[in-house]
Amino acid sequence: MSPQLSIDINNELASLSATPFEPYIFRVDGLLRRENELAYEPEILAIGPYHHGKANLEMMEKHKLRYLQMYLARTNESSVDRFVNAMQDLEEKTRKCYAESIGLEKDAFVRMMLLDGCFIIEFFYKLAYEKVIDDPIFKMQRFTNTIFQDLLLFENQLPFFVLKRLLGSNLLDINDLISQIPFLFSHLFSQSSTYSDASYVPRENVKHLLGLVHDTWCSSFKTTVSSRRAAEAEERTWKYIKCSTQLREAGVKFKKATETSSLLDIEFENGIMKIPPLSIDDSTEVIFRNLVAYEQYNDLNEPAYVTNYRKFLDCLINSPKDVEILRHRGIIDNWLGDDEAVSSLLNRLGNNVILDSTSFCYSEIFNKINDHCKRRRYKWMTKLRHNYFNSPWSIISLFGATLLLVLTIIQTIYSVSKV
């Protein structure tokens, strides 16, 4: 054995920290990526080092410089010296937040931190104080929506402590920045924006912008799940529910939930399933995939709420017919225009996604639904619908046979009465 090899390995072991810093910004692995690689790639805006320097994203670098200039003017700074020094202090800590070794040299990395951080701050400042009239970024709605979407990509994140250091005690403090999160929902989830309230999110737990959006979306539902579990008398096993077409045959009725604080909050009582409305458009797959990736890669010490919600939708929707049922009830707002496209999208989202069945948020709801469908009268109704009412021709045939039977009985009674 080579003595030098032993020395090298021992030196590597000695250099390891006793309490290693755990990164929380990753590249999406190949299994998830192959389902839709473009869902994790920024279209026009690079934030952080993973997509930094790509030729197709170069256009926004000039806007970042322009936003830095605006930030300096707004904070009465004559140069970038103070902010550069602040970013240099955070450089090593910031690098450790990324799971991969970053090849950028120190100055290039610090420059990236400064430009990306100031762009995010100024972007939300303009939203907060409506300073968007003369800004070319906001003149085209499509351009703005694409930036919103790029800011929520899992690989396109900057640690939140970088923004905090840049903000300091300036006009737009951290609470103002957080309060703008509903804008992301209003642009990317249509009416689902009403379910976002950042006031419930502990500021010290925020990792990055995507994490803040995730926690904002799930915060009120987290309270609901905790109360449901506390009310459960005992742990029970659970099984997946059938699709909406089969559930409707079993007597389950679907109703749009109008009084709820969370898009994720599903209720089932007395045979009625209440589901908050969800808009599905071109951005839905990208946002869902990145929120799910965030849950897959981070130890949240709690249920994967978005992953669980996605599984609920996957169970409920197996075909365009299932989408049609929910759309007619006002639960699905289909901006894709095709029910088959919606069912295909929701079914694909679960490929290569790990689901922890022991902490499934909807286990109690699923048990209630399955218990409802097992009752004798609902099983009988299901069989009756399946055997005799599964098509218009079956209904017509049954009606015709019934009419013929009634006429035969009448004729018999008439003949007997004449005798």
What is the structure's pLDDT at 139? 84
Q: Are 358 and 302 in contact (CB under 8 A)?
A: no
What three-state secondary structure class fits 51? coil
Residue 145 has pLDDT above 50, yes or no: yes
Both 365 and 394 in one domain: the answer is no
Both 30 and 110 in one domain: the answer is yes
Between 110-124, 163-177, 231-245, 332-346, the lowest mean confidence (pLDDT) is in 163-177
Both 142 and 44 in one domain: the answer is yes
Residue 210 lies in a domain: no
Both 158 and 110 in one domain: the answer is yes
| pLDDT tens-place string over residues 84-131 | 999 999 999 999 999 999 999 999 999 999 999 999 999 988 877 777
d(CA 160, CA 182): 18
| pLDDT tens-place string over residues 26-49 | 999 999 999 999 999 999 999 999
Whose tokens are 């004729």? That residue is 411
Q: Are 221 and 306 in contact (CB under 8 A)?
A: no
Residue 167 lies in a domain: yes
Residue 172 has pLDDT above 60, yes or no: no
Confidence at 388, pLDDT banded by 50, 70, 90: low
Residue 194 has pLDDT above 60, yes or no: no
What are the backbone dihedrals phi and psi of residue 272, each rounded to the nearest 5 degrees, phi first?
-115, 125
Q: Are 63 and 117 in contact (CB under 8 A)?
A: no
292-300 long-range contacts, CB within 8 A, separation 24+? 292/349, 292/353, 293/28, 293/32, 293/40, 293/154, 294/154, 294/210, 294/211, 294/214, 295/214, 296/32, 296/353, 296/354, 297/24, 297/26, 297/154, 298/24, 298/207, 298/211
Q: What is the mean pLDDT of the chain?
A: 84
Per DSSP bridges, beta strands 332-334 and 278-280 are: parallel
Domain that holds residue 399: 381-411
Neighbours of 404 (CB within 10 A): 10
What is the structure's pLDDT at 401? 61
Residue 13 lies in a domain: no
CA 130 to chain centre: 27
401, HSE (Cβ side, Cα atoms, 13 Å): 7
Residue 117 lies in a domain: yes
Both 237 and 350 in one domain: the answer is yes
Both 385 and 241 in one domain: the answer is no
Residue 348 has pLDDT above 50, yes or no: yes
Q: What's 25's DSSP letter?
A: B
Which of residues 148, 163, 179 is at a domain's end?
179
Residue 365 has pLDDT above 70, yes or no: yes
What is the structure's pLDDT at 169? 61
Residue 389 has pLDDT above 60, yes or no: no
Both 53 and 168 in one domain: the answer is yes
Both 114 and 168 in one domain: the answer is yes
Q: What is the pTM of this model?
A: 0.84
Both 26 and 171 in one domain: the answer is yes
Confidence at 8, pLDDT banded by 50, 70, 90: confident
Residue 376 has pLDDT above 70, yes or no: no
Both 30 and 77 in one domain: the answer is yes
What is the structure's pLDDT at 391? 57
Residue 298 has pLDDT above 50, yes or no: yes
What is the structure's pLDDT at 273? 97
Residue 55 has pLDDT above 60, yes or no: yes
- Radius of gyration (Cα) for the chain, nearest Å? 28
Residue 194 lies in a domain: no
Residue 396 lies in a domain: yes
Beta bridge partners of 272: 253, 269
What is the structure's pLDDT at 270? 92
Residue 185 lies in a domain: no
Confidence at 191, pLDDT banded by 50, 70, 90: very low
Residue 208 lies in a domain: no
Structure-token pair, residue 342: 């919606």
Which of residues 153, 179, 205 is at a domain's end?
179
Structure-token pair, residue 45: 């805006």
Query: Total structural domains in the chain?
Result: 3
Both 324 and 386 in one domain: the answer is no
What is the structure's pLDDT at 230? 59
Q: What is the mean pLDDT of residues 339-343?
A: 96
Both 142 and 160 in one domain: the answer is yes
Q: What is the mean pLDDT of residues 52-64?
A: 95
Which of residues 162, 179, 196 is at a domain's end?
179
What is the structure's pLDDT at 271? 94
